[in-house]
């Protein structure tokens, strides 16, 4: 939490506290208003333009909400929402459970500081690999013909023919989800592991003396400290999952059919394959508004910093 900044006491010859504050405030606003104002305008202009694009045709005639009704009347839109929801349902619990499991594992089992530090660095690395590069890696694993996964499975003898990881809807969804899980489980691990470090050792030792199992220990002590972190992780990962584009575009392009056409790929297709600017703008506006509402609702419930 940010501590309140102390109000400077009078250092110069006689000023009342009030006049000093307004002097500082004036300076603050002089600097802040132009910069913040410019940024605010730059951020709001696209939103305004999107609204304008969504209610006019390409040559500027006003057509009201027709683009919105077309966007909502397109069944592919709901397919995209469903696909995104399914993706989130697969990815989020898996990442959290795996990350938690690994955090607990390392916390309990690995005591050597050197090893822990190495694991820390190793966990950081997948987080910063550019999503296009991760998409390339995934292609090299799942693609038909040159994908190494089929090769390994066949060599080891688990399967005897090529599995079409990218050609069967369920498998393709699994493939793109697996990429997300691969890249972001370390994030969950890092956060929860740090959280576990804050659990007071005395409580743990007391519990162990009482003979608690690892499960009891977790449920009654550690979980208490991790709970706020879970919410935050969910918050940030959910936001990322709704925005995901790069690696899905590279790995499946939305296919097979529209099985992995998540929301962002759907909007991309409407704007840059069908060139339906009005409908794309309507979708963009709807997405922006929904996210703003979601954001303001969620931040009320979360332990974010408050000054």
Map the footprint of another protein across residues 165-184, applying CB under 8 A: 166-169, 182
Least separation in angstroms between residue 202's CB and another protein is 18
CA dist list (Å): 118 to 115, 128, 196: 5, 16, 18
User: Which residue stretch of 8-16, 88-96, 219-227 sits at the interface with another protein (rule: CB under 8 A)?
Assistant: 8-16
Q: Which of helix, strand or coil describes residue 198?
A: coil
Q: What is the DSSP letter of 27?
A: H
239 is a contact residue toward another protein (CB under 8 A): yes
Site for another protein in 251-290 (CB under 8 A): 253, 255-258, 263-264, 267-269, 271-277, 280-281, 283-284, 287-288
DSSP letter for each residue of 35-101: HHHHHHHHHHHHHHHHHHHHTB-TT--B-TTHHHHHHHH-HHHHHHHHHHHHHHHHHHHHHHHHHHH
53 is a contact residue toward another protein (CB under 8 A): yes
Q: 37: how many CB neighbours lie within 10 A of its CB?
A: 10
Please measure the distance between the N-terminal and C-terminal CA atoms of the chain and give it in whole angstroms.
Answer: 7
User: Which residue stretch of 86-94, 160-168, 218-226 sits at the interface with another protein (rule: CB under 8 A)?
Assistant: 160-168
User: Which residue stretch of 27-35, 87-95, 218-226 sits at the interface with another protein (rule: CB under 8 A)?
Assistant: 27-35
Token readout for 150 is: 């089929």
Least separation in angstroms between residue 203's CB and another protein is 16
Residue in 125, 158, 297, 301 binding another protein, rule: CB under 8 A: 125
Least separation in angstroms between residue 65's CB and another protein is 15
Site for another protein in 72-101 (CB under 8 A): none
């Amino acid at each position: 939490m940010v501590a309140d900044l102390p109000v400077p006491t009078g250092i110069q010859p006689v000023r009342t506290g009030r006049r000093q504050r307004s002097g500082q405030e004036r300076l603050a606003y002089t600097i802040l208003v132009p910069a913040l104002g410019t940024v605010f305008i730059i951020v709001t202009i696209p939103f305004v333009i999107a609204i304008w694009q969504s209610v006019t045709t390409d040559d500027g005639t006003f057509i009201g909400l027709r683009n919105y009704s077309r966007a909502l009347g397109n069944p592919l839109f709901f397919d995209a929402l469903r696909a995104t929801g399914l993706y989130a349902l697969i990815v989020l619990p898996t990442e959290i459970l795996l990350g938690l499991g690994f955090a607990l594992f390392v916390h309990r089992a690995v005591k050597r500081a050197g090893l822990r530090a190495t694991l820390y660095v190793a966990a950081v690395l997948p987080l910063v690999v550019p999503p296009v590069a991760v998409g390339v890696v995934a292609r090299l694993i799942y693609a038909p013909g040159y994908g190494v996964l089929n090769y390994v499975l066949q060599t080891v003898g688990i399967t005897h023919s090529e599995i079409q990881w990218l050609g069967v809807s369920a498998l393709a969804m699994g493939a793109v989800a697996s990429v997300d899980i691969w890249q972001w489980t370390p994030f969950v691990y890092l956060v929860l592991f740090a959280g576990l470090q804050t659990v007071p050792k005395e409580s743990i030792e007391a519990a162990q003396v009482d003979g608690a199992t690892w499960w009891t220990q977790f449920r009654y002590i550690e979980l208490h400290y991790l709970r706020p972190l879970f919410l935050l992780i969910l918050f940030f990962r959910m936001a990322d999952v709704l925005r995901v584009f790069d690696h899905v575009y590279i790995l499946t392009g939305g296919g097979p059919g529209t099985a992995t056409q998540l929301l962002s790929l759907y909007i991309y297709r409407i704007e840059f394959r069908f060139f339906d600017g009005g409908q794309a703008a309507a979708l963009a506006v709807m997405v922006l508004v929904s996210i703003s509402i979601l954001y303001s609702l969620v931040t009320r419930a979360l332990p974010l910093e408050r000054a």
